[in-house]
Structure 1
Amino acid sequence: MVCISSLRALVLRAAAGASRRRGSRVLCGRAVDACVTPRTRGHGWRGFRAVAGARTKMMLDSSDSDPASAVGQLQLQRRAAAAGAQPQDGGAGGYASGGWQREDGKLKCGYSSFRGKRATMEDFYDVKLTEVDGQPVSLFGVFDGHGGSRAAEYLKEHLFENLMKHPKFLTDTKLAISETYQKTDSDFLESESNAFRDDGSTASTAVLVGGHLYVANVGDSRAVISKAGKAMALSVDHKPNRTDERKRIENAGGVVIWAGTWRVGGVLAMSRAFGNRLLKPFVVAEPEIQEELVDGDLESLVLASDGLWDAVENEEAVSLAKTEDVPESAARKLTEIAYSRGSADNITCIVVQFQHDKTGG
């Protein structure tokens, strides 16, 4: 996604120049979204990993090898044989896809992930359909790595697990998402403290709890829904030249420089991401969160990395998602369209369809 070569030297030069120009402004004026709790060493839920205990009953996730063991209301039927066993780089062909539907037929999801023209695969995805304290919960995430795959892989392995163990996951889902994003970022940086690398990753996630859909975004992956026949973006790409983002970065002592495109410190072409230790505190993992009521107007959801959005418009994506009966087919077609139009990035897409008129599997 971005070039990280000479990162340390560029950041140090940018930071030094910003420090000379701004002086005491380095430590003041950090803008924080209204729904975000500022990052501290403790969020008031320290040790939340042990809180959940038996709260969470996992029915299916994208790494399960035996989804047939799912039982009860959320028993799932697999659309693609052996899809969950495929590696996330798609194996030798660089391609992976699969999909599932809920037994009652009211929720279907499919994914497609393609290495494309890149030599390596830095995209990851996660799909979990589960129960927490008897409440049906569905979680979908696309993680687009840069400077390496480790940050994106870490998010796949830990972000949703951490979120479901947050003590306020069901009662204050927005707060739980915000705190979990930031703590998972801190955990990743700590886990990589001895590594001579500076991986980063976006995260575009959708969490369905009861009749509420929560979409959280960090970076330039994107979530778009179809509502009453119209495309509606539920995230705004975090670009350094966004007026509010540029102000936040400069208030924190950073600089936004044109280097082929607008970049934080002349290095990173997005203003929020997980990881990127050398660009903290200018590049943050504080999510922007949108909430939507799941009613008869909500038809579909498309989550994708920027490898898709670089070549496909929002309206086109949700239109195709609505016309395909099988969401896996929609996801595959979207990745193929983006690739055929010249997308040079990894391409990962998750399509979720809401079937409000279904009463049985």
Structure 2
Amino acid sequence: MEELGVVFVILGLVLISNTVTCSSGNGVTVSCMMVYEQGGAPAVFDSEECLQWPSLQNHTPNCQFAQLQGDRRSQEDRISCHLHMKIIPLIGENRLQEVRLGIAAVFDGHGGEEASETGSNLLSDYFHLHYVFKMYKLMGQFQGEFTANDSESLQLEVIKEALLSTIYDIDAKFTQASCILSEAVKNNLLSGSTATVIVLFDGKILVANVGDSKAIIFSEIESGQGPEASLSAIELTKDHHPDRADERARIEATGGSVIVRGVPRVNGILAMSRAIGDIYLKRYGVIAVPEVTGWQHISGNYRYLVVASDGIFESLTANDVGDLILKWDSHYVKGPSSTLAEFIVKNAYDKGSTDNLSVIVIPLSLDFAEVKH
């Protein structure tokens, strides 16, 4: 047990080495943990009990994305992408190792860019902080040796819980800023946003979704008509529209209504039933609680992961996007001046989309499918 105690101290130091040491140099202090337990990530960032956490770099070089304002008056979409976040896993084979995690998201704003801007600015920092504190707390509760299966399942559960807490805290932070209606109107804080977030870790994918942006995996299949392959689109998200039976039930149970004005809308206003922000509709069943997939293994047939705002799908289907990927691969493989993400956005706009357009394209090569030491 003495040796294990030394490991805990080392773990605490390593966990914090790339972020911050709270008021003492031994890792997360009791007072800082209390701040976290009481108020989550926003409280830690604001507290004098904990030193300031540095911001993680967004938009890593190998994260391919593209955006276009389209025919809207302003660009309310935001993206966040960090495919090289370094984290410390649970102890395996009695040694510590730093591994890599990828996180990417599309925030499709409406009624202004304030909510989507808040989401994109806070996602990586909040997620990393939640992961560190939850992992540190778990290790503090450690009793005995982890088996390999225990270590893996606990690791994945901590990542999932960190993601859920992150989305909750982003909404709470924005909602708190706009909780006084007069101030919200004055500072234009009545906006809202989708949040479609994917996590890549250890050859697996986790997706959390709020609203009607989408995450899609494209899997290579043989056509049966010859040597050419085709791509099958596997949607990982379900749109949160007010007329979906379970969504409608929640809205109506809180006194809200679903009224069709072009499309079904909450109280005739909002065309989605889950969103970050939209404070004036919270009382009518609009929530920021994401639907989360289970962890899915990255199959050897998976080629691309695409995360996109609904503007892309105003003029394209998921299968259309797959066809564009194949076209780009076959015609531009020698080094195009534009990227695949730009190619998708341009085609969506040319085919008639009038909305803001945003897409993140992640090739699911071996580089992303495995944990990197």
Same fold, judged at TM 0.5 (above): yes
- After TM superposition, the structure 1 stretch with the greater mean CA deviation from structure 2, 143-152 or 325-334, is 325-334
* In 2: Cα distance, 1:227 partner to 1:46 partner: 41
Structure with more relative contact order (C-alpha pairs < 8 Å, separation 6 or more): 1
- After TM superposition, the structure 1 stretch with the greater mean CA deviation from structure 2, 241-250 or 271-280, is 241-250
Q: 2:86 aligns with which of 113, 124, 131?
A: 131
Question: Does residue 304 of structure 2 align to residue 350 of structure 1?
Answer: no
Matched positions, count: 273
Distance 1:150 1:271, change over 3 A: same
Q: Quote the residue 1:248 is aligned against.
A: 250
Question: Does residue 174 of structure 2 align to residue 188 of structure 1?
Answer: yes
Amino acid at match of 1:125: I
* In 2: Cα distance, 1:199 partner to 1:357 partner: 38
Question: Does residue 340 of structure 2 align to residue 330 of structure 1?
Answer: yes
SS at match of 1:253: coil
SS at match of 2:184: coil
Distance 1:190 1:48, change over 3 A: closer
SS at match of 2:312: helix
Distance 1:202 1:43, change over 3 A: farther
Structure number, greater radius of gyration: 2
TM-superposed CA distance for 1:150, in Å, is: 0.5
Q: How much is the aligned-residue C-alpha RMSD, in angstroms?
A: 2.8
* In 2: Cα distance, 1:149 partner to 1:357 partner: 34
TM-superposed CA distance for 1:45, in Å, is: 6.7
Q: Quote the residue 1:158 is aligned against.
A: 122
Q: Quote the residue 2:192 is aligned against.
A: 200
TM-superposed CA distance for 1:292, in Å, is: 1.5
* In 1: Cα distance, 2:367 partner to 2:174 partner: 42
* In 1: Cα distance, 2:82 partner to 2:368 partner: 21
Q: Quote the residue 1:112 is aligned against.
A: 66
Q: Quote the residue 2:296 is aligned against.
A: 292
Q: 1:283 aligns with which of 283, 286, 291?
A: 286
* In 1: Cα distance, 2:36 partner to 2:313 partner: 34
Q: 2:109–2:192: 8 Å Cα contact kept in structure 1?
A: yes
Mark the runs of 5 or more structure 1 residues left unpaired by the alignment: 1-41, 68-77, 79-99, 101-108
Q: Quote the residue 2:58 is aligned against.
A: 61
Q: 1:341 aligns with which of 326, 330, 351?
A: 351
SS at match of 1:279: helix
Amino acid at match of 2:315: A
* In 2: Cα distance, 1:285 partner to 1:332 partner: 30
CA distances 1:7-51 after superposition (whole Å, capped 9, x unpaired): xxxxxxxxxxxxxxxxxxxxxxxxxxxxxxxxxxx9957444659
* In 2: Cα distance, 1:255 partner to 1:43 partner: 37
Q: Quote the residue 2:241 is aligned against.
A: 239
- After TM superposition, the structure 1 stretch with the greater mean CA deviation from structure 2, 146-155 or 164-173, is 164-173
TM-superposed CA distance for 1:344, in Å, is: 0.8
TM-superposed CA distance for 1:273, in Å, is: 0.5
Q: 2:87–2:99: 8 Å Cα contact kept in structure 1?
A: yes
Q: 2:56–2:124: 8 Å Cα contact kept in structure 1?
A: no
TM-superposed CA distance for 1:114, in Å, is: 0.5
Q: TM-score, normalised to structure 1's length?
A: 0.69
* In 2: Cα distance, 1:262 partner to 1:358 partner: 39
Distance 1:115 1:358, change over 3 A: closer
Question: Does residue 337 of structure 2 align to residue 318 of structure 1?
Answer: no
SS at match of 2:197: strand
TM-superposed CA distance for 1:311, in Å, is: 1.0
Q: 2:41–2:169: 8 Å Cα contact kept in structure 1?
A: no
SS at match of 2:240: coil
* In 1: Cα distance, 2:124 partner to 2:238 partner: 22
Distance 1:47 1:357, change over 3 A: closer
Distance 1:47 1:119, change over 3 A: closer
Amino acid at match of 1:195: A
Q: Quote the residue 1:216 is aligned against.
A: 208
Higher strand share: 1
Distance 1:47 1:235, change over 3 A: closer
TM-superposed CA distance for 1:295, in Å, is: 3.1
SS at match of 1:204: strand
* In 2: Cα distance, 1:191 partner to 1:244 partner: 30
SS at match of 2:339: helix
Amino acid at match of 1:307: G
SS at match of 1:266: coil
Where do 1:88-99 residues align within 5 Å?
A: none
Higher helix share: 2
- After TM superposition, the structure 1 stretch with the greater mean CA deviation from structure 2, 294-303 or 315-324, is 315-324
TM-superposed CA distance for 1:278, in Å, is: 0.3
Amino acid at match of 1:261: V
Distance 1:58 1:171, change over 3 A: farther
- After TM superposition, the structure 1 stretch with the greater mean CA deviation from structure 2, 321-330 or 265-274, is 321-330
SS at match of 1:144: strand
